[in-house]
């Protein structure tokens, strides 16, 4: 006997509705989630509309919604509960079984120490294989020890003579004058009542030749003045008009730069 279609449809719909009523709603939050959501909404309702820092600075920050705020304490509670559950499962028998398994693996050569030793040995083998591979390579074979020795012997880069004065490339006239005076060589200077008092009036060529004659025609002589001798030190000493032994004047001055003397 066939039932009418409308009767069958109504019976199927009623059965589906009954099953939905018996099953829990998947969108209904659990007890813990509902409690946390209620706490968050309550906190959001008590939060001031404008933070005091925003009112003081004039800048406003975008506040997160009530459903996006972190629930640190709730997450921590869940972690603690999960840890306690795992601890409850780790009984004495489980611990003994784990120790026995570790002992069996160690005896069989598959323990942690054995695996670490095997890995170290494999790394040594790989390193030696890489060395052999690089040795057998044909890349840059023309650069051997003999090549580098020959190139090093032919290389003669210029070297700086620290603490020396090159008379072929002389410094300023004032430094040359001070070098002469430190060697007790005469230097012609202007008078005290001139526009530039106590300045060296001789030509640079004469001062250079005087120093060269003093050092037996050598062009590389020791530098007796400080690193900043000359006009740099004139502005530091109000008593010196540019003449005299400025190096000695500043050797005992705490405000002067460090001095370097080459004997």
Average confidence (pLDDT) per 10 residues, the chain, 263 residues? 48 58 56 76 63 71 61 79 86 86 86 89 92 83 86 82 86 92 93 89 93 92 76 48 44 44 42
Assess if residue 228 is contained within a domain.
yes
Q: Who's near 255: CB < 8 A, 6+ residues apart? A: 236
- Regarding whether 172 and 223 lie in a shared domain, the answer is yes
Distance CA 196, CA 180 (A): 20
Question: What is the torsional sign of CA 215, 218, 219, 220?
Answer: negative
CB 176 within 8 A of CB 208: yes
Q: Which of 87, 117, 135 is the last residue of a domain?
A: 135
Q: Who's near 229: CB < 8 A, 6+ residues apart? A: 174, 175, 178, 246, 247
CB 189 within 8 A of CB 201: yes
| Prediction pTM value | 0.33
- Regarding whether 209 and 169 lie in a shared domain, the answer is yes
Assess if residue 184 is contained within a domain.
yes
**Following CA atoms 217, 223, 224, 228 in sequence, which dihedral angle do they give, to the nearest 10 degrees?**
140
**Among 173, 184, 188, CA closest to 234:** 173
Residue 47: φ, ψ to 5°:
-75, 130
Assess if residue 19 is contained within a domain.
no
- Regarding whether 191 and 120 lie in a shared domain, the answer is no
What does the pLDDT read at residue 129?
Answer: 92
What does the pLDDT read at residue 214?
Answer: 94
What is the domain extent for residue 121?
71-135
Q: State the total domains in the chain.
A: 2
Distance CA 157, CA 154 (A): 10
Intra-chain end-to-end CA distance of the chain, in Å: 131
CB 205 within 8 A of CB 214: no
Q: Which secondary-structure segment (H or E) carries 9?
A: helix 5-22
Q: Where are the alpha helices (H) located in 47-203, listed in sequence order?
A: 52-57, 72-89, 92-107, 112-136, 145-154, 173-182
- Regarding whether 117 and 179 lie in a shared domain, the answer is no
- Regarding whether 168 and 131 lie in a shared domain, the answer is no
């Amino acid at each position: 006997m066939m039932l009418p279609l409308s009767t069958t449809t109504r019976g199927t719909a009623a059965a589906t509705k009954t099953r939905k009523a018996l099953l829990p709603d998947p969108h209904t939050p659990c007890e813990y989630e509902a409690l946390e959501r209620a706490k968050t909404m309550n906190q959001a309702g008590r939060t001031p509309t404008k933070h005091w820092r925003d009112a003081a600075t004039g800048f406003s920050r975008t506040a997160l919604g009530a459903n996006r705020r972190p629930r640190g304490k709730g997450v921590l509670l869940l972690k603690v509960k999960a840890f306690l559950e795992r601890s409850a499962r780790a009984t004495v028998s489980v611990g003994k079984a784990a120790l026995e398994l570790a002992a069996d693996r160690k005896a069989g050569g598959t323990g942690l120490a054995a695996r670490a030793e095997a890995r170290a040995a494999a790394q040594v083998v790989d390193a030696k294989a890489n060395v052999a591979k690089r040795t057998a390579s044909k890349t840059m074979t023309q650069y051997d020890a003999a090549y580098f020795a020959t190139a090093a012997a032919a290389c003669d880069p210029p070297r700086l003579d620290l603490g020396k004065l090159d008379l072929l490339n002389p410094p300023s006239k004032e430094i040359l004058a001070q070098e002469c005076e430190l060697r007790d060589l005469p230097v012609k200077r202007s008078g005290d009542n001139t526009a530039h008092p106590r300045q060296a009036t001789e030509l640079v060529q004469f001062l250079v030749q005087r120093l060269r004659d003093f050092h037996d025609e050598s062009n590389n002589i020791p530098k007796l003045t400080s690193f900043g001798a000359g006009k740099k030190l004139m502005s530091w000493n109000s008593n010196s008009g540019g003449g005299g032994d400025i190096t000695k004047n500043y050797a005992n001055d705490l405000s002067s730069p460090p001095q370097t003397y080459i004997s």
